[in-house]
Amino acid sequence: MHLLFTYGTLRDPAVQQAVFGRLVDCEDDSLPGFRVEDVLITDPDVLAASGLDRHPMLRRDPGGASVHGGRLQLTDSELAAADRYEVDDYERVEVVLASGHRAWAYASAQEAADLRAAFAAENNGA
């Protein structure tokens, strides 16, 4: 099983049903050191599932911001479905949540390499 931190449309029951084929329990959590910005979505499948043309995107914010969201527990196939749902502007990266859980999160693809390096440095030997 995989933990996925979600802070946007994957928390929506209709989107969960469309992406995973079921409703997924969501445990409240937050991600320190990040903020969200809107990104324009043009993918017709994502638009159909969410009904929204703007989705939030994680951006690193060392100024102490925190993003409220939740943890989903997903199977391998459900995580793959989430990967297919997220457009190319997003990339899945590993993060540590305020609760101490390690989880996947979809962040800006432009920042993904920097986020992976920062995660590795912060969690070296953990």
pLDDT tens sequence across 61-120 = 877 789 999 999 999 999 999 999 887 778 899 999 999 999 999 888 777 777 777 767
Find the helix or strand (DSSP H, E) in which 114 lies: helix 112-122
pLDDT of residue 37: 81
Is the Cα dihedral 66, 71, 74, 76 positive or negative? positive
Picking from 114, 29, 35, 14, the residue whose alpha carbon sits closest to that of residue 69 is 29
CA distance 36 to 61: 9
33 confidence band (pLDDT: 50, 70, 90):
confident
Place of tokens 């540590």: 96
Q: Looking at the chain, how many residues does it have?
A: 126
Set out the domains of the chain in order of their start, with CATH numbers: 2-118 (3.10.490.10)
47 confidence band (pLDDT: 50, 70, 90):
low
Q: What is the residue-wise DSSP string for 72-100? A: EEE-HHHHHHHHHHS-TTEEEEEEE-TTS
123 confidence band (pLDDT: 50, 70, 90):
confident
Report the 3 state secondary structure along 3-56: EEEECCHHHCHHHHHHHHCCCCCEEEEEEECEEEEEEECCCHHHHHHHCCCEEE
Q: What is the mean pLDDT of residues 39-59?
A: 69
Is pLDDT of 54 > 70? no
